[in-house]
Chains A and B, each alone.
Chain A
């Protein structure tokens, strides 16, 4: 106002009293407007850019966690002698080879081989290489023991498939080389352990169809003994020279009875095997180049044993163990070839291989399962009568029985020998026992997650003590002041570390109560071992774990199949805890009886154990109905196409009877290439209605794909719990398209049978990919599209009204991703604003699939660089937030791809209106932005699935990716527009507000004074 004052002074020659506040100069205003506009446009542009999930280094671990597992251990080799780090090298059923720290159980290094690259054998060669034989013995690799680097790799080709055997002689030297002997593909291969060079190969295919069972190198000799069986009626032994593979001697002896199982070596020249009837033990002795067979009836050794006899594969020199129905029997083979029964133990006992102990003695361990504890005893082979060592270890019930044991010895400081045992439990967990204690445990069952469900946490109890509040308030303030210091760059390095620690270990995120944003959940995981785990999403810790008793009750192999929400209390039954339904199957065939179990999601207790139930289960259908206690109704379809209703209560039956005429189900028979749709018969059929909860179904429609040209390779439906916010899609110029949103839509992809193999097995002309959209109520094909020259594997995701699917284009030699959007044409007329205002439209009337909706589709294909392991889409609470595709890449990472990139309406030159709508110009390939990997630096090894769960906060979606590893994070596809970020500085905000208030007061007082001064000037 200074200039104004001057102006006024200049004007004083005009004796005028008139004065009013002049408007601010107009030019200034325009300039201001321009500046604001410019900055706002900039802001707008920066916010409308494609959001990425890149994060700063110090943000890792704030809202994500990553857990590394290896799976159920198959083989273990200890490496403790002359090694700085005591370690054990293991191979697992998830095809992982890993080196574990024996002190703490941590992973030194780990390699996950492909799903088809099954590890057959592992061993350690030269004390520095880990040798693995995989892919049915066709790939031999050596890994550097300290760091896991691959040293060499050899591909072994054989003439036919056979067993895979690996023998790594301890101290055999052939021309300064230590060969490794591998039997695979009906050949014996000798390979240099130094560089993986092929030394020689001996093909057994020419020797007749011999099946080699054992490859033995008697100590000190330079002859490899191969013991095998020809046509299961003749024993063969071959002696092969280690230097050149020359066949030195071949002896054979016929055994007309046939054999069962494997030949087990007892000592260098003795073997034992069961005959085909499993009632006779055959002792094979090789003496002076002759094979002697000696038969002993098992009933002579063990009284009252039946036919289910098995020789256990534990290699105990001079002894072998036999499992019968009554228990395990140790049998000693004397020098004269006599069999002596030494001891009989319980059937559940697990025996390790023998371990060379002091002075040529051999020791082995056996584990016995007691009540809440296990007994580990180590015995010497020569002195079976007494336990060399006996330890009792307390064991969690939820780990089940011991499945495998590997032992290793060490020398204590007092020169006595100690033993450590690595045991694999029924739930696939790995434990190290030493001196009667569990040194460490690894929950490796989590490497084989089958299905995922989530559960809310309990509501927070009201009434927290004042002291606690004060304390937390103090902590809060302290934390924020620290943060403020950090923001203002005043913090010392120690304080920076403290800030990072506070951020990572915020007690908020790992609380066991429900939070306002819905970030804290329980992830309920069903593993292959039949164990249920509940993981906290905050920090990934195991809240509870249950070995499902319903899957263990029978002797048959029971396995969990599916996990369903059983009860989600929201309104009526808030006192009840939420629960999940586990559906399992006891047996291998589809018609095997099923096991059902209902598990409390808060405690892990099995509330109801319904297994094994009489009927089989091939499909589980969650009906959209709930009874008064908020239990979800489920239909279990058995192999005879009967529907079984659960829960089995009269109320549920009533609800179902009322709704049954609108309930349909369909089956996809991929082998036969048929889709069938069924309806539920209202009345029970005349012939023996099994119960009132069992319903007959009738076939309503079938879609038969011609088997000579099409083979079903993928089907996908919408997630049943997906929320769609609106049925309309706004397009450019305020126009509307109505989405065809149906939960009963099935996406089916078929390829020509020739092209169903791996890529390259068919020429482009032969392979055709056809995709269908099928209505599963009526069987009507809504849309069909053909991709010539393309083939699978197809990975697809269906959400709202669109499908995105990934396949290989043989002509372009590239992977492609196509999008198919389906719109309802019959609603397109609803465009009159007045009618819409007064509500005269048919948009909210219930729709029936029988009303034959007219649909139109839009589609577009894009190249995509990666091959894909899994594909999923984000889901949010209300379905308002834009969606991101979550693509599990071949590199075991999860890539978030904005759905806008796979929009079928993208064109080369979008109009202005389309640009405003957010339509991107057409490109031929989908961009892969390195920052949009949600797994950032981590790999989810062996990625199998990506699960998304909506948080309560609309902007945010919780993502859980599982494979051998587990990874959890939360992502906001449109950024967190509805909340402040985690590291928002509240203290700074408060300070700013305070400062502003003070400033307002100060300036107010000052301006008052100035006003007065002005007036009295």
Chain B
């Protein structure tokens, strides 16, 4: 069966494949800017899954494994490649594919081309209710696992930072200062974006507090490391000398002048 559908997706968008397809899917991508086409073949979609449309460059990998058109179902997506946002966001590994073919879109397509089967304009979050509880559990498990992984990520960073600091030495110069400030800045920016980092794993069933706390703790540790480095560089005002170095000489009450008689 050849299904031709036209959908506008963005890179990074997750497309739900609701019905399980036993045969591989082949996706034709159309670049609206260069007016060229590319192909993506998707391996066998055995269970319900999602396809996050990621960087188009990825498709090149599978290109040579394309299987002739006639055998497979086709999906034609029009991709807006000019918006390569969230490139490399994919922390989730081993992703499976799923295209939902039930037309549950309530809003009719405004375009000339009818919406392809499986395409829905309704945000996928609302689909959660339609998912089965089992699926939800699986997803929740997976999400919490992922969240823990994300939470532990700064640890690796911490080790590397420590090594870099050791490399930088304890004299004040450009490199050591750069390292130190990046060590201070990285945890700070990570802490600012702590909500965003855990956003994909938000789930009513998943308790994100513990991973978040670990994440925060690890980042704080990184920051402490930076502060410690700052101190070893002597950049923290912890000595008396730091507080008196700019004190002007005390005012003198008396004034005296004179000397040898002018001659």
Binding site for B on A (CB under 8 A): 8, 12, 15-21, 26, 29-30, 33-34, 36-37, 40-41, 43-44, 561-562, 583, 585, 590, 617-624, 635, 637, 659, 662-670, 677, 715, 717, 720, 724-728, 730, 734-736, 738-739, 741-744, 746, 776-777, 830-833, 836-837, 841, 843-850, 916, 1011-1012, 1014-1017
Contacts and interface: CB of A to CB of B under 8 A. Distances in A.
Contact of B34 (A34, A846, A1016): A1016
Given A619-B261, A728-B244, A730-B241, 18 more contacts: A15-B43, A19-B58, A619-B259, A666-B256, A666-B259, A726-B245, A726-B248, A730-B245, A734-B234, A743-B252, A744-B252, A744-B256, A830-B244, A832-B240, A841-B244, A846-B250, A1014-B60, A1017-B63
B125 to A, nearest CB: 23
B55 to A, nearest CB: 7
Given A561-B262, A715-B260, A830-B244, A844 B238 contact: no
A278 B55 CA distance: 118
B250 A1017 contact: no
Contacts of A37: 167-169, 173, 175
A727 B258 contact: no
Contacts of A849: 252-254
Given A21-B88, A561-B262, A665 B244 contact: no
A676 B155 CA distance: 74
Contact of A736 (B90, B95, B241, B248): B241
Interface string B40-57: 000100000000001111
B258 A30 contact: no
Given A30-B167, A36-B175, A848-B254, A715 B238 contact: no
16 contacts: A15-B43, A17-B58, A21-B88, A37-B167, A40-B173, A40-B174, A619-B262, A664-B256, A665-B258, A667-B259, A724-B248, A726-B244, A744-B254, A843-B244, A849-B252, A1012-B33
A666 B258 contact: yes
Nearest to A831: B240
B221 to A, nearest CB: 20
Contacts of B171: 41, 44, 916
B262 A562 contact: yes
A726 B247 contact: yes
A590 to B, nearest CB: 6
B189 interface: no
B175 A667 contact: no
B94 A18 contact: yes
Given A36-B175, A623-B255, A665-B258, A727 B167 contact: no
Contacts of B38: 1015-1016
B167 A33 contact: yes
Interface in B231-253: 234, 237-253
Interface of B: 31, 33-34, 36, 38, 43, 54-58, 60-65, 81, 84, 88, 90-91, 93-95, 160, 164, 167-169, 171, 173-175, 234, 237-263
Given A21-B88, A40-B175, A727 B262 contact: no
A776 B167 contact: no
B255 A1015 contact: no
B248 A727 contact: yes
Contacts of A30: 167
Nearest to B253: A848
B254 A777 contact: yes
Contacts of B243: 833, 836-837
Nearest to B38: A1016
B232 to A, nearest CB: 12
Contact of A1016 (B31, B61, B88, B254): B31
B257 A623 contact: yes
A725 B248 contact: yes
Contact of B255 (A26, A637, A662): A662
Nearest to A662: B254
Nearest to B254: A777
Nearest to B263: A590
Given A17-B54, A1016-B31, A736 B240 contact: yes
Contacts of A1014: 57, 60
B63 to A, nearest CB: 8
Contacts, number: 212
A622 B257 contact: yes
Contact of B254 (A17, A44, A664, A667): A664
Contacts of B61: 8, 12, 17
Contact of A847 (B60, B250, B260): B250
A665 B256 contact: yes
Nearest to B51: A17
A619 B240 contact: no
B252 to A, nearest CB: 6
Nearest to A775: B256
Looking at A17, A717, A845, A1011, which has the most chain B CB atoms within 10 Å of its CB? A17
Given A619-B262, A847-B252, A1015 B56 contact: yes
Contacts of A837: 243
A662 B175 contact: no
A557 to B, nearest CB: 14
Given A562-B262, A617-B262, A843-B250, A33 B175 contact: yes
A836 B260 CA distance: 42
Contacts of A667: 258-261
B239 A833 contact: yes
Contacts of B252: 742-744, 846-849
A735 B241 contact: yes
A665 B171 CA distance: 49
A637 B258 contact: yes
Nearest to A618: B261
Contacts of A841: 244
Contact of B251 (A623, A734, A836, A847): A847
Contacts of A742: 252
A776 B240 CA distance: 32
Q: 6 closest Cβ contacts across the A-B interface? A: A621-B257, A836-B243, A734-B239, A664-B256, A618-B261, A665-B258
Contacts of A16: 93-94
B244 A677 contact: no
A830 B173 contact: no
Contacts of B237: 833
A833 B169 CA distance: 26
A618 B240 CA distance: 46
A742 B252 CA distance: 7
Contact of A33 (B58, B62, B168): B168
A616 to B, nearest CB: 10
A622 B257 CA distance: 8
Contacts of A1011: 84
Looking at B94, B245, B251, B256, which has the most chain A CB atoms within 10 Å of its CB? B256
Looking at B38, B61, B160, which has the most chain A CB atoms within 10 Å of its CB? B61
Contacts of A662: 253-255
A836 B244 contact: yes
B256 A776 contact: yes
Contacts of A735: 241
A934 to B, nearest CB: 27
Given A623-B257, A635-B257, A847-B253, A1015 B55 contact: yes
A830 B31 CA distance: 72
A741 B252 CA distance: 9
A620 B262 contact: yes
Nearest to B79: A1015
A668 B174 CA distance: 54
Contacts of A727: 244, 247-250
A15 B95 CA distance: 11
A867 to B, nearest CB: 22
Contacts of B58: 17, 19
